[in-house]
Amino acid sequence: MGKPTGFLEIERKTIGEQAPTERVKHWGEFKIHPEEEQLRNQGARCMDCGTPFCHTGHLVSGMASGCPINNLIPEFNDLVYKGRWKEALDRLHKTNNFPEFTGRVCPAPCEGSCVLGVIEPPVTIKNIECSIIDRGWDEGWVTPQPPKARTGYKVAVVGSGPSGLACADQLNQAGHEVTVYERADRIGGLLMYGIPNMKLAKKEVVQRRVDVLAEEGITFVTSCEIGKDITADQLKKDFDAVVFCTGATKPRDLPVPGRELKGVHFAMEFLTANTKHLLDSEFDGSLPELNAKGKDVVVIGGGDTGTDCVGTSLRQGAKSVTQLEILPRPPAAREANNPWPEWPKIYRMDYGQEEAAALQGDDPRQYLVMTERFIDDGNGNLAGLDIVEIEWGKDDQGRFIPKKKEDTRRTLKAELVTLAMGFLGPEQVAIEQLGLATDPRSNIQADHGKYTTSVEGVFAAGDCRRGQSLVVWAINEGRGAAREVDRYLTGVTQLP
């Protein structure tokens, strides 16, 4: 603990951002790197608690409390305060394969359970984490570290999202020959095509790490879908172990009248088309065929994916953007039934809502509404949608259900709707080919901590096992699965 009184003397200060009206003009990251003095001061606010809940990484009320990968947060805070940046990076890499990803896109459950947060704004843990790894890249401290020896075992990892990359990295460091299969044309899964470029730069951040992994010996195969281009049975025959890290990519649909109209799209279809076009066109200013330019846009869903649709639509030149949320607006501060160290369920404006408010005058979200039908313009195109306000009540069995308020129906104009209502589980083709057991939610059945499926030598990790979750949980699962695969192949493991 470098400065015992730091939390008493220094106020929380987050890193800066470009103004919303300026950043919507481009697709680059908009965070402004702070001066070193600011970061060291923020590190000094860490209390070095007797029990640092920030890195406990457990579930409280079904949500992450603390860091799911158990980052050594008080240690790297202290090292940053003392200016020992390379040691801070070493601490960070002990638990986190890709801090440049989590430092940008993780919602920071660590800060939600920071002990200082009981009485004051919490330590800026996420900002400090991102600054450590970014300095590591700038200083040339992040270099390929191939394993010194190979075991001769071959492992296939299906999916190149955060769980797949973490699993592959760990297994490669253990000396196994790892091949990662990705059905898209670029490596990264959710990191590449599910998160917009302004939140996570593709060339400068994602591809940079993938290049290092390749130099360390991992083989990447793109445009290859397991279950179609290569059968799952054949994959199992060719490798000593197989790890499914395919994510939960089956989107939740909205089966209301008019769903078939042109202009109603799943959020990931919209976001993927945009990022792929940006990369293929090398950011030449053109737009993909599926775009929001000049259109009234409605985003259905209030989570991170919905926010990304808002930000993307604004950058494409949408005429207006409205975001619909079936849940009530969260309170301004923690309520009694949401105590520390639970994740604080409070009202926030993410980057997309900030940008919409700057351009349109207000938060684009409308709460406690649901869509009843999409409206046809007479030619099979979307012209709008009918919505109704709801209130939550309990049915005869005590389950919460939405109840329509009949006198609140209204119509919204829209030429583009994106459905961002979450995901229902992994796609089933390869799962069915191998006969893998699934749980009631269609996820691959495999116990946390073991990751073994119902088929010998086949493992599962990440969203395809636990359901839709955070990038940081995916990294946790990828690392855990790698440890168990290593144990399965060699009888012992030294992987963390």
Domains of the chain in sequence order:
6-139 (1.10.1060.10), 154-250+424-490 (3.50.50.60), 253-421 (3.50.50.60)
Q: Read out DSSP for 148-209?
A: SS--S-EEEEE--SHHHHHHHHHHHHTT-EEEEE-SSSSTTTIIIIIS-TTTS-IIIIIIHH
Q: Classify strands 320-325 and 416-419 as parallel, antiparallel or unpaired.
A: unpaired
Q: What is the pTM of this model?
A: 0.96
Band (pLDDT 50/70/90 cuts) for residue 50 is: confident
Nearest one of 138, 258, 254, 108 to 205, comparing CA atoms: 138
- Give, in degrees to the nearest 5, the angle at Cα 476 between 475 and 482: 85
CB atoms within 10 A of CB 294: 11
Q: How many CA atoms lie within 13 A of 466 on its CB side?
A: 24
Rounded to an integer, the average pLDDT of 57-65 is: 84
Q: Is the pLDDT of residue 1 over 70?
A: no
Q: For 298-321, what is each residue's pLDDT tens digit?
A: 999 999 999 999 999 999 999 999
pLDDT, position 142: 98
Are 164 and 157 in contact by the 8 Å Cβ rule? The answer is yes
Q: Is the pLDDT of residue 190 over 70?
A: yes
Write down the residue that tokens 């979450």 correspond to: 422
Q: For 278-298, what is each residue's pLDDT tens digit?
A: 999 999 999 999 999 999 999
Average pLDDT value for the chain: 96
d(CA 413, CA 151): 61
Of 59 and 471, the one with more pLDDT? 471
